[in-house]
Amino acid sequence: MTDVVGRQVVRPYGDTTGDGMVQVSFTLPVPLDKRAEGAALQLAAKMGLDPAMLVHSRQMGDGFTFFVVYGRVNHLVDLSKVEVVERDFPLLSAKEVNALVKRRMRRKLSVVGACIGTDAHTVGIDAILNVKGIAGEKGLEYYRELKVTNLGAQVSVPDLVEAARAERADAVLVSQVVTQRDAHLHNTREMSAAFREALPAGRRPLLVVGGPRFDEKMTGELGVDRIFGRGTTPGEVASYLVHALITKKVGA
């Protein structure tokens, strides 16, 4: 819809366009009973759902209940005020990436990847690095002009820095899936600080992090060069590396 000043505003809908219906899920630390269901509806009302309908509840272990609530909200979204990180580099094919690296760098582009801290979820880093890739798209190991070192899970920050130094890494890719107590943010800040301390600015590798709970606008705050969110493909990462390490530098 468009309001009187020409802004494009939208409202969520579930059954009919613009009805404002949304579905939310959450867990409360209470056993499943009538009082728990009443507490869930009370919380939904405080969240602005009016009316709110409890459509699902399930015991989640001892003293915890999971709820799904459906209801109407009156909030509008002004699309002109939505801030996102737009892709500022072209998507390249594997052939184009290989050609640029070979022609401009005259050596293989070295990439070191890992899950750091206590994070043992390698599905993200493996999807980007392993040759099998994801959704039919080959990972960075498939690119003949890229030298890929996958350190796997639960890598300490000092070990990551040493591996990057030993491999003369042009880029370090870190995947973080565990987000409890903002572990992904703490680990990323620790990593970026360690690289700043260990290597001078001209010798530091490109620092790239990814995971489902990162805010792509937090690069400056976290001290990294790029953040990739969920749904990122190996081709996007390879294209970014070429843009940042080759194309951008040549243009400068």
- Positions marked catalytic: 132
Distance (Å, rounded) from C-alpha 129 to C-alpha 127? 6
Distance (Å, rounded) from C-alpha 10 to C-alpha 82? 12
| 71 touches 49 (CB < 8 A) | yes
Paired with 172 in beta bridges are 112, 207
Phi and psi torsions of 65, nearest 5° = -135, 135
Distance (Å, rounded) from C-alpha 99 to C-alpha 119? 35
Distance (Å, rounded) from C-alpha 122 to C-alpha 150? 10
Distance (Å, rounded) from C-alpha 109 to C-alpha 143? 10
Distance (Å, rounded) from C-alpha 216 to C-alpha 144? 29
Distance (Å, rounded) from C-alpha 34 to C-alpha 36? 5
| 115 touches 175 (CB < 8 A) | yes
Residue 35 carries which side chain, given as an amino acid letter?
R
How many Cβ atoms are within 10 Å of 213's Cβ, its own excluded?
Answer: 14
Distance (Å, rounded) from C-alpha 196 to C-alpha 168? 15
